[in-house]
């Protein structure tokens, strides 16, 4: 129970920080979008496709390898090998990070001119090349802090990095950068580059201070429970190779989308604007609440790894059941709010009806997307990272084919359909695999139907009550906030009424979060002398 509580405390801390950071990020993204325009955001999305592949090459699966290796060492050797393991991971990250940085800087011109067909992307790619080595090294340290359950250090780093990025980017946008699409994009990228460097410096300081914990970590090694130790490269390289393929396919997809939109009849500027509205405006809103789940999913990796190392299959099934229950309760509620309040979200955040349409179109997909995220975290913790990456490769390949076929004929709607196809495929493969290896059997009535009926009732009642009580307050951020808050409380009420979240679930949540009282040790009875025992032996 102590381990479960520690997991929940770390997850709640990371959730609060990630949610705060995601709130700031979305707000800042709204500000940047309004300052730079949809054209700049579309160009940024185009560059991000290539940059994503470069980051994949720089990290090469090292964060997952660090989490799994450190978690395994904690379980088997009490953390005595942590220092050697971290140094090996840092060496691996430095090697791949340096290669990725040199390659992106050297090939920025042919990539920008020949591949992206826009000379404005060349300087952006060269700027981004300087962030790759810090990102690779930070991935190791973030993985280490996740594995040893010191989530607050990751939280402090995230807050600091985001604050520096916002401050520096805002300064560049307002005071330095020229008022052009390329100037705005470079200001955004430079702010991120400075923030990544400072984040690495802070992580290194935290790691040096954390070394004193090595000698205090002590868990007894249990006989008969010593699975074969796996090296860093053995975990990272299979993931890296699969990630290269998937990331390369995703980069091709990001390049094909604007071309397909242009072939459908849109001009280059209009194609970039439509792509930017969906990719850089609507999707961040859709994924914003996932901050709550992403922290829990990241911490599930060491949790599942330790349970697997001890052979505790019952606990693994229990964790899977709770994760699925909470994920679907949350994601179905978010989906309902996004669907019914899409117009208000698009208008308040971006003053755009087009973004509102995209939010409503993607809202029904939220439960599948969030469930896939949670499942992916559990599969990685159970050593299924190669399977997950193979599914992701197939997902990316299907996406490229669908984009190449659908977007030139259907425009941006073809891309929305592509997102649906790939997300459903990925989630179906991942969930099927988890159910097979854990033996967990979900109850569909409790997990899906009750939350669905609850969110329909909550949103309908919320819309009716809000329109009756506050008929003239639509279109403001404050009214939207209270509308969402009212819907949230109604959703909780409907869940309690339908049994989607029952008394046993409330007791579990309270019992997991609140410390249990320490039982009183009974007073020792009167000591019996040795002589008495000799005279009166037990029969």
Residue 500 domain flag: no
| pLDDT beyond 60 at 538 | no
Annotate 116-142 with b (16+ C-beta within 10 A) or e (fewer). bebebbbbbbbbbbbbbbbbbbbbbbb
| pLDDT beyond 70 at 489 | yes
Judged by average pLDDT, the poorest of 214-218, 232-236, 240-244, 465-469 is 214-218
The tokens of 117 are what? 């067909």
Helix H, strand E, coil C: the string for 463-520 is: HHHHHHHCCCCCCCHHHHHHHHHHHHHHHHHHHHHHCCCCHHHHHHHHHHHCCCCCCC
Q: Cβ contacts of residue 245 below 8 Å, gap of 6+?
A: 393, 396
Q: CB neighbours (10 Å) of residue 534?
A: 8
Q: What is the pLDDT of residue 453?
A: 92
In order of 81, 121, 335, 524, the CA distances from 477 in angstroms are: 52, 35, 19, 65
pLDDT tens per residue, range 156-188: 887 788 888 888 888 887 776 556 777 777 888
| pLDDT beyond 80 at 474 | no
Residue 448 domain flag: no
Q: What is the mean pLDDT of residues 386-399?
A: 88
532 pLDDT band (50/70/90 cuts)? very low
Q: Residue written as tokens 């609440």?
A: 289
| pLDDT beyond 80 at 17 | no
Q: How much is the mean pLDDT over the chain?
A: 79
523 pLDDT band (50/70/90 cuts)? very low
Residue 461 domain flag: no
In order of 74, 340, 346, 461, 504, the CA distances from 458 in angstroms are: 45, 11, 21, 5, 22
- How many structural domains does the chain have? 1
In order of 39, 133, 268, the CA distances from 123 in angstroms are: 17, 18, 20
Residue 197 domain flag: yes
Q: Are 116 and 160 in contact (CB under 8 A)?
A: no
| pLDDT beyond 60 at 388 | yes
For 483, what's the count of Cα atoms within 13 Å in the CB-facing half-sphere? 29
The whole domain housing 77 covers: 2-209+231-442
The tokens of 169 are what? 């980017």
| pLDDT beyond 80 at 524 | no
Q: What is the mean pLDDT of residues 482-497?
A: 91
Q: What is the pLDDT of residue 537?
A: 41
The tokens of 474 are what? 């639509």
pLDDT tens per residue, range 316-366: 888 888 888 888 999 999 999 999 999 888 888 888 888 899 999 999 999
Residue 463 domain flag: no
Q: Which residue, among 196, 187, 185, 201, has the nearest Cα to 131 in the 3D structure? A: 196
Residue 467 domain flag: no
| pLDDT beyond 50 at 227 | no
Q: What is the pLDDT of residue 37?
A: 66
| pLDDT beyond 70 at 520 | no
The tokens of 461 are what? 């009642």
Q: Which residue, among 484, 464, 486, 468, has the nearest Cα to 476 in the 3D structure? A: 484
Q: What is the mean pLDDT of residues 522-527?
A: 46
pLDDT tens per residue, range 90-137: 999 999 999 999 999 999 999 988 888 888 888 889 989 999 999 999
Q: What is the pLDDT of residue 299?
A: 59
298 pLDDT band (50/70/90 cuts)? low
Residue 438 domain flag: yes
Q: What is the mean pLDDT of residues 389-393?
A: 86
């Amino acid at each position: 129970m102590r381990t479960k509580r520690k997991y929940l405390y770390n997850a709640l801390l990371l959730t609060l920080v990630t949610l705060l950071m995601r709130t700031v990020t979305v707000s800042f993204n709204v500000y940047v979008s309004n300052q730079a325009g949809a054209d700049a955001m579309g160009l940024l999305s185009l560059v991000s496709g290539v940059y994503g592949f470069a980051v994949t090459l720089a990290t090469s699966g090292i964060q997952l390898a660090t989490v799994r290796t450190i978690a395994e060492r904690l379980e088997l050797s009490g953390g005595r090998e942590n220092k050697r393991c971290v140094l090996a991971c840092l060496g691996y990250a430095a090697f791949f990070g340096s290669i990725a940085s040199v390659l992106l800087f050297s090939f920025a011109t042919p990539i920008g001119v020949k591949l992206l067909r826009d000379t404005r992307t060349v300087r952006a790619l060269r700027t981004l090349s300087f962030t790759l080595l810090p990102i690779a090294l930070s991935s190791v340290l973030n993985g280490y802090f996740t594995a040893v359950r010191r989530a607050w250090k990751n939280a402090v780093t995230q807050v600091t990095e985001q604050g520096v990025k916002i401050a520096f980017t805002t300064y560049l946008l307002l005071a330095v950068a020229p008022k052009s699409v390329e100037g705005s994009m470079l200001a955004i990228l430079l702010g991120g580059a400075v923030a990544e460097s400072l984040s690495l410096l802070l992580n290194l300081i935290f790691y040096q201070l954390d070394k004193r914990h090595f000698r205090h970590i002590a868990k007894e090694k249990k006989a008969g429970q010593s699975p074969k130790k796996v090296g860093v490269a053995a975990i990272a390289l299979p993931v890296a190779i699969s990630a290269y393929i998937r990331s390369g396919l995703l980069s091709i997809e990001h390049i094909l989308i604007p071309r397909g939109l242009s072939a459908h009849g849109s001009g280059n500027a209009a194609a970039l604007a439509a792509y930017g509205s969906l990719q850089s405006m609507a999707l961040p809103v859709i994924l914003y609440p996932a901050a709550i789940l992403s922290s829990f999913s990241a911490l599930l990796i060491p949790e599942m790894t330790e349970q697997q190392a001890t052979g505790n299959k019952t606990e693994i099934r229990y964790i899977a059941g709770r994760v699925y229950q909470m994920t679907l309760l949350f994601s179905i509620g978010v989906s309902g709010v996004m669907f019914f309040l899409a117009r208000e979200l698009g208008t308040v955040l971006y003053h755009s009806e087009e973004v509102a349409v995209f939010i409503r179109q993607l809202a029904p997909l939220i439960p599948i997307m969030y469930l896939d995220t949670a499942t992916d975290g559990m599969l990685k913790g159970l050593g299924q990272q190669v399977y997950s990456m193979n599914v992701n490769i197939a997902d990316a390949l299907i996406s490229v084919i669908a984009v190449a076929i659908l977007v030139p004929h259907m425009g941006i709607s073809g891309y929305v359909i592509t997102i649906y196809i790939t997300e459903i495929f990925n989630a179906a493969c991942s969930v099927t695999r988890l159910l097979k290896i854990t033996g967990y059997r979900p109850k569909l009535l409790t997990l899906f139907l009750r939350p669905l009926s609850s969110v329909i009732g909550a949103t309908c009642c919320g819309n009716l009550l809000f329109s009756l009580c506050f008929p003239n307050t639509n279109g403001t951020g404050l009214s939207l906030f209270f509308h969402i808050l009212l819907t949230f409380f109604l959703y909780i009420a409907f869940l309690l009424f339908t049994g989607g979240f029952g008394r046993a679930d409330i007791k579990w949540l309270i019992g997991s979060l609140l410390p249990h009282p320490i039982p009183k040790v009974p007073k020792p009875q009167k000591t019996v002398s040795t002589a008495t025992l000799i005279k009166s032996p037990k029969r």
